Amino acid sequence: MEQRFVLSNGVRVLIEDIPYVHSAAIGFWIDSGAKNETTEDNGISHFIEHMLFKGTPRRTALEIARSFEDTGGTINAFTDKENTCYYARVLAHHLPMAIDVLGDMLLHSLLDQGEVQRERKVILEEIKMYEDTPDELVYDLFSQIFWKDHPLGRAIVGTKKSVKEIDQDRLKSFLSANYTPDRLVVAVVGKVEPDRILDQLESLFGEWRSPGLTHLESEPQPQSSSLVKYKDIEQVHLCLGTKGVSITDTDRFALAFLDSILGGGMSSNLFQEIREKRGLAYSISTYQSLYRPGGIFGVYAGTSPSSLPEVIRLIVEEFEKVKSGLIREEELDRAREQLKGGILLSLEVPRHRMSRLARNELYYGRIVPIEEVISGIDKVQLSDLVRVANEIFQNRFLTATVVGPLRKFDFDPEKIGT
């Protein structure tokens, strides 16, 4: 049974008791990420995520790690564009320990000056590693030029310049402004006792108060653009994409169908057309990144430099087919079953259930029943796909980034296929 609670200071708590399992998954989700940063402190959310593992007055970094590892559990964290999450999985009887440690990290991390200096070096190495991974770098470059000056375009890890300038004072200031009770969602799934969890959380967070700040969001205005980044490698890595929809838009269901039909696996249209029929790429897939202000729908492909124009032409051809309604009912039905099956299978994993509860609260302010999601998928018709495709697959939005052995890349959506 899924339950929603609000602590006295505004912390939102989502709990699902699954009595037949032996473990519990817990996540502390902060409604703050890269989009909450300025250009000058780009990467600070990710920096803080690292620093919260570096010790509190009660625990050293090693003791934090051992608290979980010595009991067979795990602890980890991630930062994305809109959220930062600290999560753990433990045996059910170790859940009080997990709550205590995560809460201690959140409220009492030292942000020691020496640790800040050391971790800065680690993050700079992480940026270098990322820049040496072209099939990941190309996605980030796409976001940067697609969103342009909008906060969603900022790299989660930051830049070498911005990370070098982030100091202890900036970290403390950002933490104080963004890690507040009204922006914290705690999600717990597994063999749990809701009353005990609530009592512990109330004791842990009861004196913590929000500063009452207002956080404004602007709407991005994407326009067609292109970028090439030279790398002395064999392949070119391509992201070709367009605008998506907001994560709260009901058209997200239709977009999920397009994702499935065009690039959702080995049976998808792009995989069959570009890899299986023509052998032009080893890897090709679609992706969607949906946020509150808007989204991205994109295609990734790794191909040879000489094949790049042909791959782009074939991708755009598939876009045009969808816009013209050239999708068979059987494709629609397959996508429907694929989407529903993927959702239902994910519910077999407690951590996925925990993430679903937290994201429901962060984006919709409520627990969205699975039946409602399945109903949304069942309602999608071919006409919805055609309508959404015609809205997003427009030349004025088409954007491309390329990483590979090219110095120049001419991209004009109006001339593709001519």
- Residues designated as active site: 49
- 227 half-sphere exposure, CB direction, 13 A CA radius: 17
Any residues with CB less than 8 A from the CB of 249 and at least 6 apart, and which?
Answer: none
313-320 long-range CB contacts below 8 Å, 24 or more apart?
313/416, 313/417, 314/270, 314/273, 314/274, 314/278, 314/280, 315/240, 315/270, 315/274, 316/240, 316/398, 316/413, 316/416, 316/417, 317/417, 318/262, 318/269, 318/270, 318/273, 319/389, 319/393, 320/393
Report the Cα 371 to chain-centroid distance in Å. 24
Answer yes or no: are the C-beta atoms of 388 and 285 closer than 8 Å: no
